Structure 1
Amino acid sequence: MKNRWYSSVFAVSALALGCVATGAWAQAAKPLRIGLIGPFTGPSSDFGLPMLNGAKLAVDEINAAGGYLGRMVELVVKDDTANPDVGLQKSQELMQEQVIATIGFCNTGVAMKSLDVFQNAKSPLIVPCATGTPITAKYPAAESYVFRNSARDAIQAPFVVNDIVSRGWTKVAVLADKTGYGEAGLQDVVKALAAKDLKPVYVGRFDLGVTDLQADLKAAQAAGANVIFSYTVGPEAAAIAKSRQAIGWKVPQVGAWPLSFPLFIDGARDASEGALMAQTFIAEPSNERKMSFLSAYGRKFSSKKIAVPMAAAQGYDSVYLLSYALLSIRNGDMSGPSVKAALENIPRVYYGVTATHEKPFSKDDKEAISSNMLVMGMVKNGAVTFAYAEDRSRNLIVQRKQSAH
């Protein structure tokens, strides 16, 4: 269905551009280069690789339908290894590779160190995974070349806080790592709790690599906490779960989307059971678009299970959002300001995997995801499923962005 629809859009656009300048058509054989940067090796590869694969799947589909006016789309892939210094170097390399835009970053700290590279070069960046609120707040929205197609922590944290308060879990202990991601997430949780006239009963901070957090958990227990809100990625989230289990403390662990990662679920094993987290995409065939995407991904990568489905789906949708923007460029101008303006004025609705995107971006809004697109996921038997049956039913209809979020 998607391939046929994209092909018809391509055909109509090609006819509309029948009188385009000869010079532009002379470039037809030259690939359209799009940057892709993320952690494809190293500690964050568990969600970097699915993001990469989702983007590759979208590019394959677009090229099979004719690409952009006969020009094939080519991904220029850079591995940032989840290291901010490496990310900066690779971002600078991308600017030398003549990419028209870049899709990238899974880690907030890595993204933050590289944002100036894209902004100064006036080269659009679409962030498909990293969720730190500061990423899209660094520059005034109207001037910013930084777009995002993931749920920023400023909406994830309130979403989870609303859920736990509705369950009566109001004595919250927050355990956050000392990275840029952990710091920004902690501030978002504190702000979300304050909106409910609540404060954390305990706050614990830790360095990446920690394996035992029993001391923090005992302190949180002594403070009367009845829920643990963790803000970290992967192994450290598992360390929290295992430390809680080790002291025999049966309280729920909640958090943002990293609690859906294999490094948490597989690392914590049965200690991860029941953990709750915000999600934009749960890998269950609850609607036709999900079924199509999961089937296509499985065929292309010979995979029965996606390590981090959200990363794959958002990487896939990010490529399509960019392609829809490019189709509105009528004069062949692929300069950064032209692509930025096209992203801010996408004319057609993109029926995506994670959302129905109708005007996902604007000059004053660089966030494609709004809070109504989130659902609560839960770890059950080593996999992520819907925490609420009504969310599974609601997911039959793919959500559209709210005008205020």
Structure 2
Amino acid sequence: MGKSRLALIGSLAAAVTMLTAGCGQGLLGGGSEGDGEEGPIALGMLIPQSGSEAAVGPYMKNAAQLAVDEVNAKGGVLGRKLELKVADDACDAQTAVAGANKLVAEGVDVSVGGYCSGATLPTLPVFGKTNIPMIIPAANSQELVDQRLKHVFMINGTGTQQATAAMAWIVKQGAKSAALVHDNTSYSKDIAVRTQKLLDESGGPETAILEAVTPKESDYSANIHNIMAKNPDFVYWTGYFQEGGLIIRQLRQAGYKGAIMVGDGSVSEKLAEIAGPEAAEGVYATMTQTPDTLQGAETWIADYNKKFGSNPGPYSNQSYDAVRLAAEAVKKAGSTDGAKVIAALEGIDGFPMFSGPLKFTPDHTLSSGGFQILVVKSGKFALQDALK
């Protein structure tokens, strides 16, 4: 996150130009001779199609399909077409494992899914046992990174990077004490605990309380009472939008007047619907780039809208890039062999994505998380600060 804002805008504009013009290092320039493999190249995508986070699933699926169609329109990869196979993970570990096993049985070559970290984590060994590369577009718990699995690559910012952005914004707002609220899932608790540690190290706002809630409840009054008793002037919710909307509404009903911020799992218009427009107005969010905050993405957004009859939402741009990256890696590998594709991913240098030219760190993460601060305005999230 050390780049200047000007440099970021320049690199984004260049990347988007290459994306929409189909110039991604020859990716869309037609097939070539492969290694004798035949039939479609199957990309597997685990996303929430049911459960409380199901609203995000169509954004990810549609964007991935848009990328598949664009690649195929240019001749595919290695003379073969791409095919997208989708399975439901419901943001639930057991459902996700069943979905991952289904995709493996269907012969997917690369996985390009993963939204909820708690559901993505148990699928790592499922794909790993057959050496299927995983390009994860959304899930970003640091636990995904800490396992140091060779087949796992993340193209969203990490939990550490998000916690750093959260700490910086809380300090910038001049808060004296912060309540950090999570739902005990891998993703949510990881960000809350890391933010607490960074706040303690900063010597700035103290952590008034680290509060854990139970997901999928309708009444969080006991948690709200615990938070209010500590009198924080900043509340950071790191879970998902279903619970986040309720917590925001109930905090305001209890008389809380301070600032509220949510993590990237809550960045959805559903948050404002659940919280209510008045309670949600002015709520901040830590978030990587969304279609609404991308510079120069108008053509891509128009293409998405034309194909699907609606605008792209959170994690659609990352899902689009996951497919493009998978295709590029297969092309460079000259094969769908897992070991060769993994080696090709590790060797990617400068591949244009919405987040900028890609080169993975040794941990298979982005070198910069690119987190931004969004704010709810009239029921929708808008860019507040790029934190560059």
Q: Assess same fold via TM > 0.5.
A: yes
Aligned residue among 73, 83, 107 for 1:98: 107
Q: Which residue of 2 aligns with 1:230?
A: 237
Determine whether 1:117 maps to 2:119: no
**Structure 1: how far apart are the matches of 2:82 and 2:74?**
11
249-258 or 312-321, which deviates more? 249-258
Alpha-carbon offset, residue 286 of structure 1: 5.4
Q: Which residue of 2 aligns with 1:85?
A: 94
Q: Which residue of 2 aligns with 1:326?
A: 330
Deviations 1:232-291 (A, max 9, x none): 112210111111111122111112112321331211122111111122224337522x11
Does the Cα contact within 8 Å between 1:83 and 1:110 map onto a contact in 2? Answer: yes
**Structure 2: how far apart are the matches of 1:8 and 1:243?**
50
User: Where does structure 2 lack aligned partners over 5 or more consecutive residues?
Assistant: 1-16
Does the Cα contact within 8 Å between 1:158 and 1:189 map onto a contact in 2? Answer: yes
Does the Cα contact within 8 Å between 2:236 and 2:262 map onto a contact in 1? Answer: yes
Q: How does 1:235-384 map to 2 (within 5 A)?
A: 235-269=242-276, 270-284=278-292, 287-288=295-296, 290-303=297-310, 305-306=311-312, 309-329=313-333, 332-347=334-349, 349-353=350-354, 355-359=355-359, 361-362=360-361, 364-368=362-366, 370-371=368-369, 373-384=370-381
Q: Which residue of 1 aligns with 2:153?
A: 147
Does the Cα contact within 8 Å between 2:20 and 2:300 map onto a contact in 1? Answer: no
Cα-Cα RMSD: 2.3
Tell me which amino acid in the other structure corresponds to 1:374: F
Q: Which residue of 2 aligns with 1:387?
A: 384
**Structure 2: how far apart are the matches of 1:230 and 1:223?**
16
**Structure 2: how far apart are the matches of 1:352 and 1:12?**
17
**Structure 1: how far apart are the matches of 2:318 and 2:76?**
20
Tell me which amino acid in the other structure corresponds to 1:146: V
SS at match of 1:94: helix
**Structure 2: how far apart are the matches of 1:179 and 1:357?**
31
Deviations 1:190-234 (A, max 9, x none): 222122135411122111122232333333233231000112112
Tell me which amino acid in the other structure corresponds to 2:168: N
Q: How does 1:38-57 map to 2 (within 5 A)?
A: 38-57=47-66
Determine whether 1:175 maps to 2:177: no
Alpha-carbon offset, residue 43 of structure 1: 1.4
Does the Cα contact within 8 Å between 1:31 and 1:74 map onto a contact in 2? Answer: yes
Alpha-carbon offset, residue 31 of structure 1: 0.8
Determine whether 1:9 maps to 2:16: no
- Percent identity of equivalent pairs: 24
SS at match of 1:195: helix
Does the Cα contact within 8 Å between 2:27 and 2:71 map onto a contact in 1? Answer: no
Deviations 1:313-339 (A, max 9, x none): 11011111112222212xx43211111
**Structure 1: how far apart are the matches of 2:153 and 2:201?**
27
SS at match of 2:257: coil
Q: Which residue of 1 aligns with 2:162?
A: 156
Tell me which amino acid in the other structure corresponds to 1:378: V
**Structure 1: how far apart are the matches of 2:293 and 2:185?**
35
**Structure 1: how far apart are the matches of 2:332 and 2:254?**
58
**Structure 2: how far apart are the matches of 1:325 and 1:333?**
9
SS at match of 1:191: helix
**Structure 2: how far apart are the matches of 1:41 and 1:89?**
14
SS at match of 2:83: strand
Alpha-carbon offset, residue 181 of structure 1: 2.5
Aligned residue among 77, 80, 86 for 1:71: 80
**Structure 2: how far apart are the matches of 1:187 and 1:8?**
40
**Structure 2: how far apart are the matches of 1:312 and 1:216?**
33
Does the Cα contact within 8 Å between 1:10 and 1:66 map onto a contact in 2? Answer: no
Tell me which amino acid in the other structure corresponds to 2:318: Q
Does the Cα contact within 8 Å between 1:282 and 1:385 map onto a contact in 2? Answer: no
SS at match of 2:222: helix
Cα 1:282–1:94 change in 2 (3 A) is closer
SS at match of 1:378: strand
**Structure 1: how far apart are the matches of 2:244 and 2:314?**
18
Does the Cα contact within 8 Å between 2:30 and 2:75 map onto a contact in 1? Answer: no
Q: Which structure has the higher relative contact order (CA within 8 Å, separation 6+)? A: 2
Give the TM-score taking structure 1 as reference length. Answer: 0.85
SS at match of 1:162: helix
Give the TM-score taking structure 2 as reference length. Answer: 0.88
Cα 1:203–1:3 change in 2 (3 A) is closer
Q: Which residue of 2 aligns with 1:208?
A: 215
**Structure 2: how far apart are the matches of 1:76 and 1:258?**
24
Cα 1:167–1:123 change in 2 (3 A) is same
